[in-house]
A = this chain, B = another copy of it.
Amino acid sequence: MNDLHRPGDTAKDLREGEVAVDLPADFDAGVYFIGRIHTPWKTRSECPKNARASDAICTVELEERWEAALKDVAGCTHLLLLYWMHEARRDLVLQKPRHYEAQRGTFSIRSPVRPNPIAASVAALIGIDGRKLSIRGIDCIDGTPLVDIKPYFSSVDSVPNAVVNWHASGTQRGE
């Protein structure tokens, strides 16, 4: 496997409010990139604040190898996409993202910076043409590697009354 530890993944280069840990010496499992997500945004700073903050139609381009696995996907109004946030460092346990004033635990926010930089985002499916999916509701950088496509089942995935208390307090902007 390629060595995907990034040069920046050290305890150095910490900003105020950030705390890093030593990463484990080895990975425990391997991920295949199964396609790419194409969006209008070329850098992290250009990306919308969250996935509902833009109506841009984006494109998921699946690798040819996996095309047959799209059978029946056209019948889904929404998909849960997993993708790899390949520009993020992985060693921060406490951080202060640009939108927030407070220091937060990594597992309490949706920042790309986390031990495994895998995003999970709900996208509306607009249409499928071969192995290209048109979607709405994604906020990642153009070229982001795709990790999985799942059907979104409201019966298990939708919890309208869920609350994130630190966010509900109203003093911070949303992720």
A83 to chain B, nearest CB (A): 11
| Most B C-beta atoms less than 10 A away, residue of A23, A121, A175 | A175
In angstroms, Cα B51 to Cα A73, docked, is 21
* B-contact 0/1 string along A23-48, CB 8 Å cutoff: 11011111111100000000000000
Number of copies: 2
Determine the interface band of chain A, counting residues with CB < 8 A from chain B: 35 or more
A88 CB, nearest partner CB in chain B, Å: 11
Q: Could you say which residues of chain B place their CB within 8 Å of the CB of A147?
A: 116, 118
Query: Is A165 part of the contact surface with B, judged by Cβ < 8 Å?
Result: yes
A interface, CB within 8 angstroms of B: 1-2, 4, 19, 21-24, 26-34, 50-52, 65-73, 75-78, 80, 82, 84, 86, 90, 92-94, 103-110, 114-116, 118, 120-122, 145, 147-167, 174-175
